[in-house]
Structure 1
Amino acid sequence: MSGRDLRALFSTNDRGLTAAEAFTNRELQWDLVGAALAEHLRRIADPGFSVEDLEAARDNVIVFHGVGGIGKTTLSRKLEAALTGAEHRPVQWGEPAWSNERFLPIRIDLARSAGTDFERLVLTIRLALAGLGRPLPAVDIALRRYWEHNHPGEPLEEYLRRGGLAGRFGQAGQQQMQSALSDVAQALLLPGTVGSAVGQVTSSLVRALRERRQTVRALAGCARLADLLEAEPDLEALSFYPHLLSWELARLPADKQVTPVILLDTFEDIGDRTHRDFERLLQRVVWLMPNAVFVITGRSRLQWADEALQGQLDFTGPAAWPGLATHDLEPTHTTSSADGRARQVLIGDFSPEDCEDYLARRLARDGQPLISDDIRRVITGRSHGLPLYLDLAVMRFLELRRSGRTPTPADFDHDFPALIARTLSDLTPDERHVLRSVSLLDAFDLALATRAAGMTHEAPAMRLIERPFVRENRFGLWPFHLHALIRSTIRNADDQTDDRWSPNDWAGAAERAFAALGEQWSTSPQDRLLLIGCLRQGLRLARDFRLGLDWLAGAAWAYVSDSIWEPLAPPAPNGPAATGLETAADALVETLSTLGRRQHEHRERTLDRLTAVIDSGLLPTDLHEMAVYYQAKAQRDLGHSDDSRRGMQLVADGDGRLAPAARRGLAHLARLAGDFPTALATAHTLGWSGRHHRVEGDVWWVQAEMHRAATAYEAARGEAEEHGVAGERATCQAQRAFVLAFTDPDVADDELELAQQLLSGLDLRATGLTTQIAALLRDAGTTADLEDRATILRTEISIAGLASVEATLELAMAFHYAVRGTHDQLLATISRLREITRSGDYAYYIPIAHFMGGLDLPTGHGSQARWLDGEQPTRARWHGLVTARRDHLRTAP
């Protein structure tokens, strides 16, 4: 190609239009390599550079990464050819500034199919240097010793011949490696028979090096040679031998100087993000050869600059690898980034900026982009970075102009059916069938893809996942997913292919995929990650294809049982059913979405959404009661106690799955009204399903019986652990930390730490706020910033719409002011409590605040709460907590 887009040029009569060639050549990547090599040459020419400096940062790595099938291997091969000689360089790639320098490209394929192990990698690098025509005795003796120790009876020459390395690099390297022994033996004046034994030569050489004999002065300059020869010649030692290679290269005479450029392709095949054994050895090679340049191509960014990998790799962090710590270099750059060190380059799908740049340059007149800004933005958004989509959009632009219309942004707000034909063109019929089936799924594995396609064998799915439009996430629940644009196009564009699907075909595939998800969940119903994944995909299929609930009902109950509340809502549907509730699946999606979102929305919003579901009447009885129960909880949180009581009673009378929880809710409502005897009596009847111990704790702490409450919460936490309910366990521990924060700040500190650990990974907004209030109680009477922290908390609580938590926060502040003896601030807090508890719920917090401060109650207020053992004992206990905290602060160091 000459750089002209002939299709574009032959699509118009406009001779003033210029069209740039699409998606080939990788000139920008070549420019980056050229700039990096030029910088490398300047660095190693610096008088202060030393290959034996093992602490200096490394900038000798360039990384090209991107999705499979995008041309990384082709790029690696082109770079190898271009560095071999100008005659092999693609004509589109310009003349580099360093054309007179000597580079030695060494390309190594790390793909599993290539069978490259670490031994082969090191030997390949060594043999590639044989063309220098110079002996490299330091590394050759070490390699000989390693080989004899680890491969007794297998001549190295035979291994090289059988593995193809001898044919690739010739005999010179083998001869140099063999002669190294003889040369050293001769220098040491060893007998010929002894000189042929690697062990004898190396032991004698080590002694000579240690004794600084003149006979080995040529090798004595390598300070670490003796140490390496004395070390056990295992794989670990082998990974340090490249230091010897680097040292040998550095001492070559000027006319023999060469810079190795080692191209490591298919880097993703040396392991994964958990098993880094090969990567650790390979990284050591890169670090120990600072005078070589390494060009790495693979699917993922190189993580060496991530400090979190410390301990898994030898050299980590941005200080060690400054060029790897920056963001991906954008293809619009022709050199490294502003700091001169950017060395990670994303190839493949374009970033939005790359898409806009490509579209601006693709068609031009008089040096100005032909495609307007607003059209470029629409195309970029629809493309998902796929180069093919950009290409098709450009051709559509020219087609519209040819028809006499001026293109508008709306002309590009759709998928291209041509993408389907281009995607399916080289697939077998079975692979096409699997592709359409998995387009219904966000992610899949081989079993799910096969089942969704209705096939009895996995071979078509196995072939499909090797295609470049199928992405792999090894750490995902299901490892594979389609490129977003390909998936969208297959699902939504008009499909004119010969084997296109009818609506019934799509419905059948949806039913199979839905059933397959249910089967996968049923195999491991206790696996929370699997449950969430199946629910997210199953809810979408059931909603979009109007399927029955089937296994979704059981999965919904499993979802709410742990009180973790991961987000579940699938994307909004398209078409006429995009609004409103029309099926049971619509109602269930809305219910579970609301329950997950209630941790992030005001309770009024939660109440409105659940009310709409209940009014629709679409859910079966048990799931309808689920919506009613959580509606009643939202009403309670908002202070609508009468409405909440009616909902809880309805669910309790129904005697369904949530009846024990509803009875617990009624006990909570009794406690909110200050009827503590009734609440405690009800708690004794609830059992584990009604969370009896937690309800008991809730009653005991407002009596200032903190140790009894803490014991109850501990028992509740233990039951939650036995039943494997993570959310309940965290809630009980948070409550335990809260009550102990009144009595012992040191103990509370430990309990809070445990609560925060148990909350990790859970989405429990109210419980998280409880831990923050507990931290305030722990610090009551001390820290100067406590009021500022309370102000921030008030804002968070207001956003959440949690009236109960708001009252508890003010009670905690009342404790703080009572401990400090600040009468005016305590009265102001009591005033806020009076406003918050105007509905009657939590009104007993007002007398508790008076008890704390030793204040008399307003006339008639004392009879509103039914304390378990009367008002005076309760008053004494609350005031005792305040005096105990004052004593603690006086005696604290």
Structure 2
Amino acid sequence: MTGGRDLRDLFSTNDRSVTAQEAFTNRQAQWDLVADALTEHLRRVTSPGFDVEDLEASRNNVIVLHGVGGIGKTTLSRKLEAALADAGQRPSQWGEPSWPDGRILPVRIDLARSAGTDFEHLVLMVRLALAAHVGRPLPAFDLALRRYWEANHPGEPIEEYLRRGGLTSRFGQVLPEQMQSVLEEVASILALPGVVGSVVGQVTGALVGALRERRQTVRALAGCARLADLLVAEPDLDALSYYPHLLAWEIARLPERKRVTPVVLLDTFEDVGDRTRRDLERLIQRVVWLMPNVLWVITGRGRLQWADEGLQGQLDFTGPEAWPGLAAADTPYTRTPLPTSSGGRQVLVGDFAPEDCDDYLARRLSRDGQPLITGDLRMVITGRSHGLPLYLDLSVMRFLEIRRTGRTPTVGDFDHDFPALISRTLADLTPDERHVLRSVSLLDAFDVSLATQAAGLPHEAPAMRLIERPFVRENPFGLWPYHLHGLICSTIRDADDHTDDRWSRADWQRAAARAFTALGRQWRAGSDRDRLLLTGCLRQGLRLAGDHRLELGWLTDAAWAYISDSVWEPIAPPGTSDRLDTAADALVELLSTLARRQHEHRTRTVDRLTTILDSRLLPVGLEEIALYYRAKAYRDTGHGEAARRGYQQVADNNGRLAAAARRGLAHAARLTGDFPTAHAAAQTLGWEGRHRRVLGDLWWLQGEPERAAAAYLVGRTEAEQHAKAGEAAHNQALRALAVAFYDPRQAADEIDLAHQLLVSLDLRATMINAAIAALLRDAGDPALADRLPALRTEIDASGLTSITPTLELAAAFDQAVRDDQEALAATVTRLREQTRNGDYAYYIDIAAFMAGLPLPAGHTGPQWLDGEQATRARWRGLVTARQYRLRNHQQQ
């Protein structure tokens, strides 16, 4: 929907063909909330059991719409006022209300300091709106107000006060006339002399006496049980805050034809005071409580704390029993109708959706009915705005400012931060809260403790207050539950700050160092098995270290912890570039490369790790990681000699990965068929060298898969005892592969377990091993050949060349079981090509053993652990056992 001309835009250009309009973007969810709440409110106040004088019943007559500065709360408040006052001002998509026309009286009151609204002004605004709408005096309240006025504004007629405050032009002079007529009417009822009847003190005194004597002449006012007490109370500001009780009573006894339901919209509530000075808030809350037949729609930056029991003594009415709707948690951002019956009365006004941002920008400025801001510019502005309307508004002004220079705005002009966002955000924060806000802008997410440590403060109170602000978003399921609104965070972090307490570069550097140290402290204090904490601290710590050129410190130990379990969660912080300038940049690239190798060709892994090593940015202790995993990548891509050199270099350095490197050398010996050397090396590796897995790899190649399965089982158990999920999954997938050679039924269970262990892991080679196990389990099935091409393609795409011969060996096992000599010959040919460099050449021997065929003439076999003939017999026995099982199954 579109409002009138936007005067700022109108006076920002000489081009009269440009139409500058105030654009209102649909807030359907908030309208639904207000409409539903008003419908429920009407039902409640018109029910037979409702008593406007009941001061003990809980109150559910308040809606709070809160949100970050610039989110559009004031615009929404104005639109709600217009829609409630006139159905013609209601956006069509808001739908038709369920209440009758003319019975709702919206009264919008701006509490902003710039508006100059004080408590007297607020009370008068409500009464003036009723005076204009109802058109009759409200005697109980008007007498009390007249008495208050003459006591506190001697010599100043109320009509002069209204004129000077600009209220006469809005409401006219109806109220002074009604107040005077009430005075005269009561004096007449009480038969007071003319001179006496013009003095409010004399009139109210006589009225109090008549009320307490229960005279029949004042029976109309006698129904208000507390009127006499209020008329004799000292007529000060405190008493004025109780007079709205009289106003509520008068509204409740209006005749049917005059019946009206006020909806008071209090805007900019954050300017009422702060969390330590609640004098004005106490008075306003008292009015809200004493007028339960009025619906109050409060808009401001923060939640109302009235339902917090800790405020007893600061406010009159506190706790969840008093305000059940305010005690409920914030209703989540949503574009669907919101619940109002039992809670959810505090609603965070969310950001605009991207389509709403585009709609807003398209309609703000136009020429000949066409958007002046082009689609590409709207897309960029929308993306940078994070849905904040203030940013959109500031961007419109920037667009006009650039046009004034005679230049057409381009996309690059809106890669821009607005310092005005900072001043709006910081406006009502204490100095300590500002300090915490700037500190946590360096973090992607935080908790109260982390925020306090990052700010370097000795107490948590400022951080606890800050998290209640609407620009701090909460994800209760996150490692750290709080994060700043995206635009607020980036603006505070990046924009030129012109506030009085702005930070220097040194201030930002010290804050980054504090935040970095605090993250390291949290990680070290956590459990060794907490991967979520580890990766969270790594991501935030790496970005801080990279952006602010900090020493790696605790990141070195965290990096070792990250690689120790072979889980490989994505670790690169958002917005990371590929440029290597610092040790932190190199560490980010190292850990990211190790994670990404599960999804890209291993030759790319080799290239990335070589670039990192050539940069010389990593300390010696971390260079070892790059050397070791490059050696593994060389092995995976079939470069055995390069892999052996890398493993040997790491082993010679005798660092943290020396045992793993010696395992790599044992693997290298196994690949060339030097099984005795590999077996001897396995005896020295221990748990750190994963000796059980190395033995399992040896045993199944000797035609002893049961022995291999037992070794893998022990390896998996040891891994689980050490909380190494990745290693446990490796062993289980290989155990499934070994069992699949001799027991297909058990293999099905082992494969299922392998998949369960892999659910939360990203281990591509291990997943392929589990897939090969499934092929071996199904050996003898004629349809198995159809599954081979897809798996070959996956292996080729990942660059895991070293797995290809194992896949072909599984195919050879199937072909031997089915006695398909032609297919087996083709497989052996592929194996011969794949093992040309000498690695895995013994797979040709095993294929011949399985089929009972002689070895090719001149072929040099590997060094079997107990000789060729025994090994041949075992492999042939596995094939014949499978053939026997299949025949029995067919006969059954």
Shift in alpha-carbon separation, 1:350–1:494, aligned structure 2, 3 A = same
Matched, 1:484 2:486: yes
Count of equivalent residues = 648
Aligned to 1:869: 866
- Contact 1:359/1:376 (CA < 8 Å) preserved in 2? yes
CA distance in 2, matches of 1:582, 1:369: 44
Matched, 1:814 2:812: yes
Alignment of 1:659-698 (within 5 A): 659-698=658-697
Aligned to 2:8: 7
1:346 CA displacement: 11
Aligned to 1:253: none
Aligned to 2:834: 836
Report the 3-state secondary structure (helix = DSSP H, G, I; strand = E; otherwise coil) of the residue aligned with 2:745: helix
Among candidates 879, 885, 889, match of residue 886 of structure 2 = 889
Report the 3-state secondary structure (helix = DSSP H, G, I; strand = E; otherwise coil) of the residue aligned with 2:16: coil
Matched, 1:792 2:790: yes
CA distance in 1, matches of 2:456, 2:303: 35
CA distance in 2, matches of 1:168, 1:811: 92
Give deviations 1:177-205, integer Å, cap 9, x for gaps: xxxxxxxxxxxxxxxxxxxxxxxxxxxxx
Letter of the structure 1 residue corresponding to residue 672 of structure 2: A
Aligned to 2:774: 775
Q: Normalising by structure 1, what TM-score?
A: 0.67
Aligned to 2:573: 570
CA distance in 2, matches of 1:268, 1:597: 47
- Contact 2:24/2:360 (CA < 8 Å) preserved in 1? no
CA distance in 1, matches of 2:741, 2:482: 52
Aligned to 1:728: 727
Aligned to 2:17: 16
Matched, 1:603 2:602: yes
Aligned to 1:623: 622
Aligned to 1:403: 405
Letter of the structure 2 residue corresponding to residue 855 of structure 1: L
Aligned to 1:276: none
Report the 3-state secondary structure (helix = DSSP H, G, I; strand = E; otherwise coil) of the residue aligned with 2:352: coil
Report the 3-state secondary structure (helix = DSSP H, G, I; strand = E; otherwise coil) of the residue aligned with 1:565: coil
- Contact 1:70/1:348 (CA < 8 Å) preserved in 2? no
Q: Percent identity?
A: 64
Shift in alpha-carbon separation, 1:350–1:25, aligned structure 2, 3 A = closer
Letter of the structure 1 residue corresponding to residue 829 of structure 2: S
Give deviations 1:498-522, integer Å, cap 9, x for gaps: 2222221111111111100110011
- Structure showing greater radius of gyration is 2
Matched, 1:542 2:539: no
Shift in alpha-carbon separation, 1:299–1:794, aligned structure 2, 3 A = farther
Shift in alpha-carbon separation, 1:31–1:299, aligned structure 2, 3 A = closer
CA distance in 1, matches of 2:679, 2:102: 83
- Contact 1:268/1:300 (CA < 8 Å) preserved in 2? no
Letter of the structure 2 residue corresponding to residue 7 of structure 1: R
Aligned to 1:502: 504
CA distance in 1, matches of 2:33, 2:565: 52
Letter of the structure 2 residue corresponding to residue 20 of structure 1: Q
Aligned to 1:471: 473
- Contact 1:65/1:300 (CA < 8 Å) preserved in 2? no
CA distance in 2, matches of 1:613, 1:554: 19
Aligned to 1:737: 736
CA distance in 1, matches of 2:80, 2:425: 30
Report the 3-state secondary structure (helix = DSSP H, G, I; strand = E; otherwise coil) of the residue aligned with 1:481: strand
CA distance in 1, matches of 2:615, 2:759: 36
- Contact 2:523/2:534 (CA < 8 Å) preserved in 1? yes
Matched, 1:827 2:825: yes
Letter of the structure 2 residue corresponding to residue 485 of structure 1: L
CA distance in 2, matches of 1:80, 1:420: 28
- Contact 1:821/1:853 (CA < 8 Å) preserved in 2? yes
1:701 CA displacement: 0.6
Q: What is the RMSD of the two structures over their aligned residues, measured on CA atoms?
A: 3.9
1:658 CA displacement: 0.9
CA distance in 1, matches of 2:689, 2:504: 51
- Contact 1:606/1:634 (CA < 8 Å) preserved in 2? yes
CA distance in 2, matches of 1:67, 1:850: 75
Q: Normalising by structure 2, what TM-score?
A: 0.67
- Contact 1:30/1:79 (CA < 8 Å) preserved in 2? no
Give deviations 1:6-26, integer Å, cap 9, x for gaps: 222222233333233245773
Letter of the structure 2 residue corresponding to residue 514 of structure 1: F
Alignment of 1:10-409 (within 5 A): 10-23=11-24, 26=27, 30=31, 87=85, 91-93=89-91, 97=96, 299-300=331-332, 348-409=350-411
Shift in alpha-carbon separation, 1:768–1:70, aligned structure 2, 3 A = farther
Among candidates 843, 850, 857, match of residue 852 of structure 1 = 850
CA distance in 2, matches of 1:878, 1:565: 36
Aligned to 1:108: none
Matched, 1:424 2:423: no
Shift in alpha-carbon separation, 1:504–1:82, aligned structure 2, 3 A = closer
Aligned to 1:533: 536
Report the 3-state secondary structure (helix = DSSP H, G, I; strand = E; otherwise coil) of the residue aligned with 1:495: coil
1:267 CA displacement: 13
CA distance in 2, matches of 1:692, 1:454: 48
Shift in alpha-carbon separation, 1:69–1:752, aligned structure 2, 3 A = farther
CA distance in 2, matches of 1:168, 1:808: 88
CA distance in 2, matches of 1:801, 1:67: 51
Shift in alpha-carbon separation, 1:435–1:735, aligned structure 2, 3 A = same
Give deviations 1:313-366, integer Å, cap 9, x for gaps: xxxxxxxxxxxxxxx679xxxxxxxxxxxxxx9962223322222211111122
CA distance in 2, matches of 1:168, 1:631: 81
Aligned to 2:558: 555
CA distance in 1, matches of 2:642, 2:579: 25
CA distance in 2, matches of 1:738, 1:268: 62
- Contact 2:70/2:389 (CA < 8 Å) preserved in 1? no
- Tell me whether 531-540 or 14-23 shows the greater mean CA deviation: 14-23
Report the 3-state secondary structure (helix = DSSP H, G, I; strand = E; otherwise coil) of the residue aligned with 2:630: helix
- Contact 2:353/2:387 (CA < 8 Å) preserved in 1? yes
Report the 3-state secondary structure (helix = DSSP H, G, I; strand = E; otherwise coil) of the residue aligned with 1:536: helix
Give deviations 1:846-884, integer Å, cap 9, x for gaps: 1111222222211122x3311111112211211221121
Letter of the structure 2 residue corresponding to residue 887 of structure 1: Y
- Tell me whether 579-588 or 375-384 shows the greater mean CA deviation: 579-588
- Contact 1:536/1:569 (CA < 8 Å) preserved in 2? yes
Letter of the structure 1 residue corresponding to residue 555 of structure 2: L
Shift in alpha-carbon separation, 1:398–1:701, aligned structure 2, 3 A = same
Aligned to 1:642: 641
Aligned to 1:449: 451
- Contact 1:66/1:72 (CA < 8 Å) preserved in 2? no
Letter of the structure 2 residue corresponding to residue 738 of structure 1: L
Report the 3-state secondary structure (helix = DSSP H, G, I; strand = E; otherwise coil) of the residue aligned with 2:684: coil
CA distance in 2, matches of 1:354, 1:787: 54
1:626 CA displacement: 1.7
Alignment of 1:580-599 (within 5 A): 580-599=579-598
1:709 CA displacement: 0.2
Shift in alpha-carbon separation, 1:389–1:80, aligned structure 2, 3 A = closer
- Contact 1:73/1:297 (CA < 8 Å) preserved in 2? no
1:802 CA displacement: 0.6
- Contact 2:330/2:348 (CA < 8 Å) preserved in 1? no
Shift in alpha-carbon separation, 1:435–1:744, aligned structure 2, 3 A = same
Letter of the structure 2 residue corresponding to residue 795 of structure 1: T
1:436 CA displacement: 1.4
Report the 3-state secondary structure (helix = DSSP H, G, I; strand = E; otherwise coil) of the residue aligned with 1:20: strand
- Contact 2:692/2:714 (CA < 8 Å) preserved in 1? yes
Unaligned runs of 5+ in 2: 40-63, 105-244, 250-294, 306-327, 338-346
